[in-house]
Structure 1
Amino acid sequence: MPVRRQPRRTSEVTSSVWPSGGRHLWPSGGTSAAQSHARGHLVYAAGGVLAVQTERGTSIVPANRIAWTPAGFTHRHRAHGDTDMRIVFLTPSLARLVPDRPAVFLASGLAREILLALTGPGPGPEPGSGTGGDRDATPGRSRPARTRLLRVLVDELREAHEQPLHLPEPRDDRLRAVARMLHEDPASSATLTELGKAIGAGTRTLSRLFRDELGMTFYEWRTQLRIHHALVLLADGHDTTRTAYACGWTNPSSFIAAFTDVIGTTPGRYRTARHGR
């Protein structure tokens, strides 16, 4: 049964933006307009959960992940739970060292601290004013200091494993129809055969399309979708048991095991970390 979303706790976006990055405080449910940038950028949710949608699919960014969107990719951001979004742009020379497609990385402790240092409030000038006439400097930091931090950050990302939190977007009309049904009801237990009958496509054809177009099986894709939905519900304050059933698991134990395998911590600990600040 679908779960009712929690009401918003804030009503407007508060932003601090400068040429090299910025910080946006989003209310739960806040959504950006479609946009693209001349430079690739990293986003990190210091609070809440962030969804990044591109033509390639949707990435979910919880507290221990960093999302990368290359230059030129049209994208949207959506906040789940009141979200403290940090954004850092990379120069072309650094962007060449990371993938040329949207990706999600595990955030090491060092990477997280660098992102916060590059985007958090500092003792220096206001965002955008720069330091010593340097408009591209992070507030309170000179261009050389920022460049050193960015190099270390990119090194950390190159050492990190990409995370299975990017849900690829189908292009084939038959896959899109299946995806639409599962997005509308993540708890659905329908088999691929049953879904295929509903849209007039064979099981073998759909299985091949999932492998060839999305690089995963139907069951892997559906599990990924359910984990995405679970992160959203947990960010909205729902408990583990209710989230498990809303996302299609038959019992909380199997949900906890699947969630921990993907996210690296239990739903309860994740929820406490997000709401026990």
Structure 2
Amino acid sequence: MSVNRLAHRERIDWHDHTTHQLVHPLRGVLQVTTGRGTWVVPPTRAVWLPANVPHTHQAHGPTEMRSLIFTTAVQVTFEEPTVLTVEPLLREVIRTLSDERTDLSPELRHHLEQVALHQLRSAETLPLRLPTPTDPRLVRLCAMLAADPADPRPLRELGREVGAAERTLSRLFRDETGFTFPQWRGRLRLHHAMLLLATGLPVTRVAADAGYASPSAFIEAFRLVFGITPGRWAGGGEPAS
């Protein structure tokens, strides 16, 4: 159980644990990366990191990261990193268990850990992973778009930059990420937008910087995935039920 207070852009380098870990930012936004992809975790979410999975964290905006650990004996269904909704009860349990100033008896701590596990087993999982490809051409292409998510060029033109035909790249995206190219780029833009929102930029600026045609297009794309408008989310609101 731990608390890490991170400055904007501060990074916790690659590491792993022999136990499972639940990571929840009480404030700020965490970008969590493993060899399989990247997850963005806002204060309304947590990420489950299975034991022995190397990962790294980076904060966006001043971030308070709370972590709980669980032995590998616990019965959970998450075999890979998974982003979960955090209801008010789970948030308070995480806060209590991770607060170093809280003096809990072993019995109460065990009870609260069981409450947390019960909440996790019923929590909604969210498709927030941005998969990481391995083909060198895709790696180069994805790095280009990550550097400028607003880049409007179609796959055909991007392919010229990396020396691959559009058809080849389309197949590679489906095979290596499970997404079509438009789906992957849409996920990248949403990830980028969440990180920009965490720094306090206005929605109109975020929409433009993330490559959306208009603020209304960005708001609708964000709401469809996260169940909340970006303005309300940035203000600390809860997703719609």
TM-score, length of structure 1 as denominator length: 0.81
Aligned residue for 1:107?
Answer: 86
Tell me whether 1:142 sits opposite 2:105 in the alignment: yes
- Code of the aligned partner of 2:93: I
Aligned residue for 2:115?
Answer: 152
Deviations 1:56-106 (A, max 9, x none): 111111011111111111111111000010000111122x41312111111
Point out where structure 2 has 5 or more consecutive residues left out of the alignment: none
Aligned residue for 2:177?
Answer: 214
The equivalent position to 1:49 in structure 2, one of 10, 29, 37, is 29
The equivalent position to 2:162 in structure 1, one of 199, 209, 217, is 199
- Code of the aligned partner of 2:24: Y
| 8 A contact 1:98–1:154 mirrored in 2 | no
Aligned residue for 2:77?
Answer: 98
**Radius of gyration: which is bigger?**
1
Identity over aligned residues, as a percent? Answer: 41
* Corresponding residue SS for 2:183: helix
Aligned residue for 2:99?
Answer: 120
| 8 A contact 1:41–1:69 mirrored in 2 | yes
Question: Matches of 2:104 and 2:71 in 1, distance apart?
Answer: 17
Question: Matches of 1:226 and 1:78 in 2, distance apart?
Answer: 18
- Code of the aligned partner of 1:119: S
Is the deviation greater in 46-55 or in 192-201? 192-201
- Code of the aligned partner of 2:226: I
1:271 is displaced (CA, Å) by 1.6
Question: Matches of 1:91 and 1:249 in 2, distance apart?
Answer: 43
- Code of the aligned partner of 2:152: S
Aligned residue for 2:143?
Answer: 180
**Aligned length in residues:** 237
| 8 A contact 1:56–1:102 mirrored in 2 | no
Question: Matches of 1:196 and 1:183 in 2, distance apart?
Answer: 15
Aligned residue for 2:211?
Answer: 248
Question: Matches of 2:150 and 2:56 in 1, distance apart?
Answer: 25
Tell me whether 1:89 sits opposite 2:83 in the alignment: no
Question: Matches of 1:258 and 1:264 in 2, distance apart?
Answer: 10
The equivalent position to 1:79 in structure 2, one of 50, 59, 82, is 59
- Code of the aligned partner of 1:83: T
Question: Matches of 1:54 and 1:211 in 2, distance apart?
Answer: 20
Question: Matches of 1:156 and 1:98 in 2, distance apart?
Answer: 13
Is the deviation greater in 244-253 or in 56-65? 56-65
Question: Matches of 1:61 and 1:237 in 2, distance apart?
Answer: 16
TM-score, length of structure 2 as denominator length: 0.93
Question: Matches of 2:174 and 2:118 in 1, distance apart?
Answer: 32
Question: Matches of 1:205 and 1:47 in 2, distance apart?
Answer: 42
| 8 A contact 1:41–1:71 mirrored in 2 | yes
| 8 A contact 2:19–2:51 mirrored in 1 | yes
Is the deviation greater in 46-55 or in 153-162? 153-162
Question: Matches of 1:164 and 1:226 in 2, distance apart?
Answer: 14
Question: Matches of 1:30 and 1:166 in 2, distance apart?
Answer: 21
Is the deviation greater in 21-30 or in 110-119? 110-119
